Chain A
C-alpha cells in the first residue's frame, strides 16, 4: 500500500531505473529482506545490501541473472515461481505486485545499482526511517478515545492493567500545573469538585486553555527548544535589546492557538512571506536565537560561518527533529544526510543578514514601563559618561605639567588629543577604572535600545542602514551586495573550501515519504520562504510528527519518541509509532491547532489516570512506564517552582510581556564580578519594583552569562543549546537553595503574612496554608504546633508534596 503511493509519485517523474531502484526497490529490500540478508545476519550467505552481494549470491548461487528476470533466483523467489518463497510467511508477506513488477523491469534492465551517495553509505534499517515515511492516519484500536485505543492495546499486549482514574482533586492540580504552570487556587478546586456536570473536566480544560497563563507556560517550552536569551553570550554578553518582542510573540502565538504551520513559516521566513505583518518580522528573531558575538579578536568569516552552522542546525533540530549539524564535517554517521546536502541547506541562509528594523509597538505589546526604563538607562549612561570626564581632566593637567604650560592653548597642536586618546600619565589603577566604566557605558548603550520600537530580526540581503551597535561588523551596502557563495567545507574547515553548492533540501525526506523536494530559488530573497513552505507542508513527513511528539512530551514528561530533537536513527524509537502518526494526522486535519491536540490528549483516559502503580507486574514488565499504565508524576520545573512559590505566598505579579525583568536572586551571585571583554560586567541589579521582580519567570531577563542560581539548580534550560526536555534530577544544591536561600525565606515570610492578613485563627491559617500549597486539608499532618508560621511555610514549600505533581 505504501509502495503503491510511492510508485504513483514515481510515475509522475518518469520511472527511470535508477530512480525506481532508489525510491522503490531499495526501500523494499531494506524493509522486507535485509532483516535476514544483510543487517545483523546474512542467512544462506546471501547479502542483499550491495550489487556485488546480489551477483555473488548465496548458497543457492547468484541471486540475479542480469537482463533475465525470469531465470533470476531473486525474482523467482518473490513471485513464488520456484522452490523458494520469499519473504517467508505466505501470501500475506508477499511483496506488492507493483514492486514485483518494478524488480522484474529492473533486473531486465541490468539491475543498475544507483550510486547516489545516500544509497551506498548508510545501512539504515527500516525502523530507523520511521519518521520519514509518508504520514497516514492509522485506524485506532477500539477505546473510549483513539488515544486510549492505542495505549490500551499495547498494555493489553503486555498483560498490564491501566490504573484507575485519578480523583478530581488530583486531576485539577495536574491539569492546572500542566497548562498554566501554576497551582489551582482553593476556590478553583472547590468549584471543580462541586461541579456535577458530566463535562465539568472538559470545561476546566477549556477554561485553562483560554487563560493567558497558558501561553506563558507553553511558550516557555518553545523558548527552551529555540534556546531563547536576551543576550548574545560569549565574552561581552551584550544585550539583544529587542529580543523580548520575540519572547512575547511566542507567548501570544500559543495563546492565540496560531496554526502551527503558520508559526513555522513566520519564524523561518516571516519577512519574506508576509513583510507587512509586524508579527512576521518579530518572529524571525528565531533565526538569531543562538549565542553570537563578533569582536576585534574574531575572524569575520568564522563568525559568519558559526552563525550559518548554528541556524542550519537550529532549523533541523527544531522543526524536523534532525541533528543536521552532524553532517557539517562529514556525511552524517547515522542518518542519510550527506555533507553536500548540509551545505545546500545552509546555502538557504547564505543571504540571511541581521537586521534591526523600526517596527512600531503593537497594541498587544506591554509598553507601560518603556518610558521610565529608557530614562533610567539614559541616566546611567549620562552619569557614567560624566564620571569619565575626570580622567580627561587628569590627563589634561598632567600633560600641561609635562609641557610646562598653564593653559591648554599653549600646548603643541595635537598633543592633548593624543594624550587623552591614550590616557597618558594616569595610573594603571585609574586606567582600569576608566576601562571598567567604558565597558559599562558600552553595555548600557546596547541595552537602551530595548525600549525602542525595533525588532531583532533578519533580512534577505543586507538591510539598508543597519548597524549593529558595538559589534564591529561591516555590512555591504545593498547596491554592492553579491550573494555569498557557499562551499562544502570538508571537516567543517572554512580555510579549505570544497565544491560550491546552491540552495537545496534534504533528499532523505523525499526518498522515503514520496513528497517531492521543491526547488529553492538561488535569488537573494525567497530561499527561506521556499524552505518554510516545504517544512510547513502537510506532506512533509517530519514536521507534524515532531510537534505532536513535543506536545505529548510536555504533558507526560516524556515523548512517545523520547528524543524529541532527534527523529533519526540514533533517536530512541517511538513507544507508540502509530499513535504519533494518528496524532500528527489529526494535528494536520485540525488546521495545525495546538489547542485541539491538548484537548485530544487531556480528555483521554490515559491522561486522567491515577499516578499509582497498578501492580508489581507493571514495574517488572514496564519499568520506565513507557506504556503509560499510570500517569507519571513530575517534579516542578524551575519556573513552575518559582512561580508557584510566589503564587501561594500571594506575591505573584501577573503582568504580561515587555522587556525582561530582574528578579531577586542570590545576593552573592548578584555581586559576583563577571568578566566582560577587557573588563568587568556591571553588578546585577534587581528591578526596583516588587510588581516587576515578582513577575513570572518566563518574563525574567535571560542573561547567558548570569542565570538565576535557583533556576539553574532546578535544572533550568541551557541557554546555549536547544533544550529538548527538562531534566529533573535531584542534587543537594537544590536543598541549599530552597531551604536556606533568601528568596525561599522571604517567600515563607510573605506566605505567613498573607495568612495572618486573611485570618487570625491559627487553625484556620494552617488549613488555608495546606489548601494553598497542596490543594487539600491538612488532615492530621500537623498537630497544634507552636512553631512560627513562617517556618511551617518554609517546610511546606520544601516538601515533596509541594514540588511533585501527580
Chain B
C-alpha cells in the first residue's frame, strides 16, 4: 500500500492547461441576460442567514477513518497497565461481533502521555505540535457510536444514517447556509489516497439537490473531474466550440421561450468555466511562503505528513476562498494489531499538519468563524485477541467510547467534556449519541436541526432523523 501512496495535490499549474485564465468566462455569451436570470432565480447556493446567531460560519471536518483509539490518543487509561495481558473469556453474546468474542486480553497503551495546555490535559506525547494548541481545543469523551462496523459507522457519522444514501453533514450545511463563493463548490472533500469504506456515499447529497453534493478534490491531475478538456484541445478551439454552443442554444431557446431550464443549463456552462478559472488559483500551493509550508510539514521527509500537510493547508485556503464545508479524511486508524507502530505513524504524520491548521486559522482570523471537528467513526476496545504471535497487539472496534475534539468559533476551548470508565470501555459521563453530536455541529454553525428540513418522498427529513439535543457543555 505504501507504494501506492501518491503525493497529494502536487500538480502545479504549469502541468495543466487551464483554458480560461484570469476569471474570464464565456466572453461572447450574453452575460448580462444570464446575470438577470441568476438574480431572478436567487440560486440554490446563495448565502442564507443562520437560524440562530453563531460565530462559526464554515466547518472543517477532520474525519479519522478506521476508528482512532481514544485510549492511545486523548483519553489515557493507566489502569490498563495494571491489568495488561490479563486474560478473560468474553461470552459469545448474540450482540457481539465475531471479532469481539472468545479469548481476550486487556492491553495497555504502548504510548507515553504528556500534560498540555493551561489545564494540563493529558495527550499522547507524540503530539509535539498539537500540544501547543490544546488550549484552543475542547476534548469530548462522552460520544457513543451505534455500530462497530466501519461502513455503517462511517455512514452514521457522515450522514446520520447507518444505511448509505442520506445527505452528508456537509450537504446539510451547504443547504442551510448556502455558500459565499458561487464559483467554487459549497462542500469540498479532501479524500486520503483511497476513497473510504462505503465510497462516495459518505459525502452524498442524498435526497437534497445535487448542488449540495460533496465535490472530492483530486490529489493528482485536475482537481475536479474533467475540469479541463482532454490534452490537445486548445484555448481557441474550446472558445470557438462554446461560442457555437451558445449560438445553437440561443436559437433553440428562441423557439422554446417558456422553458426555463434552458437558460439554467446555459448558465451552468458559464459557471463551470468560472470554476475552471478560479479553482487552479485556490489549489495552487506554490505561492505559499516557505515558512507556511514548513509549518504544515510540507516538503519534509515524511511523505504522509507532506500529503496531509498539503490537504490541511488546502482546507484553510478553501475556507478562506468561501467554501462552506471542507471534509478532510485521514485513513489508517484501524489498528487491530501493531498499534504502537500504526497509531504512532498516524499520530506523527498528522500532528504537525493539524496543529498548523489550527494555528494558521487563528493567525488569519478564521478560527473564530470556523468550526473544526476531529473524529473517527468509533473508538477502540481496551482488550484485544491474540494477533500475530501475541507480540503485536492492537485494539478492536468499540462503539461505546471514542475520541473527538472540536475547536473554533463557539466551542468551549481548553477543556475536557465527559469521561469514560477506568479502562476506556464505555463512556460514563455526558453520554450522547451521534445525532446529538450532529445537532451540536449544526448549532455551532447557527443552524437548528429542527428547522433544517427537507421534504422528501412525503416526509420532512432532517440530519438527526428524528431530532436530537444540543450538547450544551461543548458550547462556549
The interface stretch among B194-202, B281-289, B401-409 is: B194-202
The interface stretch among B55-63, B214-222, B303-311, B362-370 is: B214-222
Given that A297-B150, A799-B248 are known contacts, is A432 also in contact with B2, CB under 8 Å in the complex? yes
Give Cα distance in the complex from A733 to B275, angstroms. 10
Q: Which of A433, A794, A800 contacts B262 (CB 8 A)?
A: A800
B91 within 8 A of A: no
A653 within 8 A of B: no
- Interface size range on A against B: 35 or more
A266 within 8 A of B: no
Give Cα distance in the complex from A295 to B225, angstroms. 33
A299 touches B97 (CB 8 A): yes
Instruction: Bits for B238-277, please: 1 = Cβ < 8 Å to A, else 0.
Output: 0011001101110111001011011011111101110110
Q: Which of A323, A613, A680 contacts B194 (CB 8 A)?
A: A680
**Residues of chain A contacted by B230 (CB below 8 angstroms):** 740, 742, 745
**Residues of chain B contacted by A678 (CB below 8 angstroms):** 334
Given that A234-B198, A801-B248, A804-B259 are known contacts, is A297 also in contact with B457, CB under 8 Å in the complex? no
B210 within 8 A of A: yes
**Residues of chain B contacted by A679 (CB below 8 angstroms):** 1
**A179: shortest Cβ distance to chain B, in Å?**
23
**Residues of chain B contacted by A721 (CB below 8 angstroms):** 163-166, 206
Q: Which of B65, B211, B252 contacts A801 (CB 8 A)?
A: B252
Query: How many B residues, CB 8 Å from partner?
Result: 89
**B323: shortest Cβ distance to chain A, in Å?**
15
**Residues of chain A contacted by B118 (CB below 8 angstroms):** none
Give Cα distance in the complex from A730 to B259, angstroms. 14
Given that A422-B389, A733-B215, A800-B253 are known contacts, is A298 also in contact with B149, CB under 8 Å in the complex? yes
B458 within 8 A of A: yes
Give Cα distance in the complex from A306 to B196, angstroms. 22
Give Cα distance in the complex from A323 to B404, angstroms. 35
B331 within 8 A of A: yes
A613 touches B4 (CB 8 A): no
Given that A299-B97, A718-B165, A737-B226 are known contacts, is A235 also in contact with B149, CB under 8 Å in the complex? yes
Q: Which of A302, A494, A675 contacts B197 (CB 8 A)?
A: A675
Q: Which of B224, B265, B331, B334 contacts A736 (CB 8 A)?
A: B224
Query: A310, A323, A731, A734 — which one has the most chain B CB atoms within 10 A of its CB?
Result: A731
Instruction: Bits for B128-163, please: 1 = Cβ < 8 Å to A, else 0.
Output: 000000000000000000011111100000000011
B201 touches A736 (CB 8 A): no
Q: Which of A302, A737, A781 contacts B225 (CB 8 A)?
A: A737
**B202: shortest Cβ distance to chain A, in Å?**
10
**Residues of chain B contacted by A737 (CB below 8 angstroms):** 225-226
Give Cα distance in the complex from A740 to B466, angstroms. 42
A633 touches B259 (CB 8 A): yes
A326 within 8 A of B: yes
A735 touches B4 (CB 8 A): no
A787 within 8 A of B: yes
A472 touches B98 (CB 8 A): yes
Q: Which of A297, A730, A785 contacts B149 (CB 8 A)?
A: A297
B388 within 8 A of A: yes
Give Cα distance in the complex from A679 to B332, angstroms. 10
Given that A563-B458, A566-B457, A806-B256 are known contacts, is A301 also in contact with B95, CB under 8 Å in the complex? yes
B471 within 8 A of A: no
B265 touches A739 (CB 8 A): no
**A778: shortest Cβ distance to chain B, in Å?**
10
Give Cα distance in the complex from A742 to B200, angstroms. 21
The interface stretch among A143-151, A454-462, A700-708 is: A700-708
Given that A673-B195, A791-B237 are known contacts, is A323 also in contact with B271, CB under 8 Å in the complex? no
B97 touches A677 (CB 8 A): no
**Residues of chain A contacted by B252 (CB below 8 angstroms):** 799-801
Given that A730-B268, A801-B248 are known contacts, is A787 also in contact with B240, CB under 8 Å in the complex? yes
Give Cα distance in the complex from A568 to B3, angstroms. 54
Given that A680-B4, A733-B272 are known contacts, is A781 also in contact with B248, CB under 8 Å in the complex? yes
**B329: shortest Cβ distance to chain A, in Å?**
10
A235 touches B225 (CB 8 A): no
Interfacial residues of chain B within 178-215, with CB under 8 A of chain A in the complex:
193-201, 204, 206, 209-211, 213, 215
A739 touches B95 (CB 8 A): no
B397 within 8 A of A: yes
A235 touches B151 (CB 8 A): yes
Instruction: Bits for A752-793, please: 1 = Cβ < 8 Å to B, else 0.
Output: 000000000000000000000000000001100101000110
**Residues of chain A contacted by B206 (CB below 8 angstroms):** 718, 721
A724 within 8 A of B: yes
**Residues of chain A contacted by B251 (CB below 8 angstroms):** 781
A432 touches B1 (CB 8 A): yes
A709 touches B225 (CB 8 A): yes
B227 within 8 A of A: yes
The interface stretch among A5-13, A213-221, A664-672 is: A664-672
A706 touches B4 (CB 8 A): no
Q: Which of A296, A428, A436, A733 contacts B224 (CB 8 A)?
A: A733
B150 touches A429 (CB 8 A): no
B194 touches A739 (CB 8 A): no
B459 within 8 A of A: yes
Residue of B nearest to A742 (CB): B230
A297 touches B397 (CB 8 A): yes
**Residues of chain B contacted by A424 (CB below 8 angstroms):** 388-389
**Residues of chain B contacted by A740 (CB below 8 angstroms):** 226-230
Residue of B nearest to A569 (CB): B458
**A708: shortest Cβ distance to chain B, in Å?**
11
**A735: shortest Cβ distance to chain B, in Å?**
4
**A468: shortest Cβ distance to chain B, in Å?**
15
**A210: shortest Cβ distance to chain B, in Å?**
32
**A784: shortest Cβ distance to chain B, in Å?**
13
A572 within 8 A of B: yes
A58 within 8 A of B: no
Q: Which of A428, A729, A734 contacts B209 (CB 8 A)?
A: A729
Give Cα distance in the complex from A785 to B240, angstroms. 11
**Residues of chain B contacted by A734 (CB below 8 angstroms):** 268
B24 within 8 A of A: no
A798 within 8 A of B: yes
Give Cα distance in the complex from A745 to B237, angstroms. 13
B148 touches A299 (CB 8 A): yes
B275 touches A732 (CB 8 A): yes
Give Cα distance in the complex from A731 to B460, angstroms. 24
Residue of A nearest to B166 (CB): A721
Give Cα distance in the complex from A635 to B265, angstroms. 10
Given that A666-B225, A720-B165, A801-B248 are known contacts, is A326 also in contact with B258, CB under 8 Å in the complex? no
A212 within 8 A of B: no
B244 touches A792 (CB 8 A): yes
Interfacial residues of chain B within 1-39, with CB under 8 A of chain A in the complex:
1-4
**Residues of chain B contacted by A436 (CB below 8 angstroms):** 1
**B435: shortest Cβ distance to chain A, in Å?**
13
B235 within 8 A of A: no
**Residues of chain A contacted by B275 (CB below 8 angstroms):** 732
**A385: shortest Cβ distance to chain B, in Å?**
20
Give Cα distance in the complex from A334 to B459, angstroms. 9
Give Cα distance in the complex from A610 to B388, angstroms. 72
**A574: shortest Cβ distance to chain B, in Å?**
13
Give Cα distance in the complex from A17 to B196, angstroms. 60
Give Cα distance in the complex from A741 to B272, angstroms. 13
Binding site for A on B (CB under 8 A): 1-4, 65, 94-99, 147-152, 162-166, 193-201, 204, 206, 209-211, 213, 215, 218, 220-221, 224-230, 233, 237, 240-241, 244-245, 247-249, 251-253, 256, 258-259, 261-262, 264-269, 271-273, 275-276, 331, 334, 338, 341, 388-389, 396-397, 457-460, 466
Q: Can you give 5 contacting A-B residue pairs, CB < 8 Å?
A: A424-B388, A666-B226, A720-B163, A737-B225, A795-B245
Given contacts A672-B194, A740-B227, 15 further A-B pairs with CB under 8 A are A297-B150, A300-B94, A306-B162, A429-B3, A435-B1, A633-B261, A668-B225, A674-B195, A675-B331, A720-B163, A721-B165, A735-B273, A740-B230, A800-B265, A804-B259
Give me the 5 closest cross-chain CB pairs, A-B, nearest first.
Answer: A570-B458, A566-B458, A732-B272, A721-B165, A735-B272
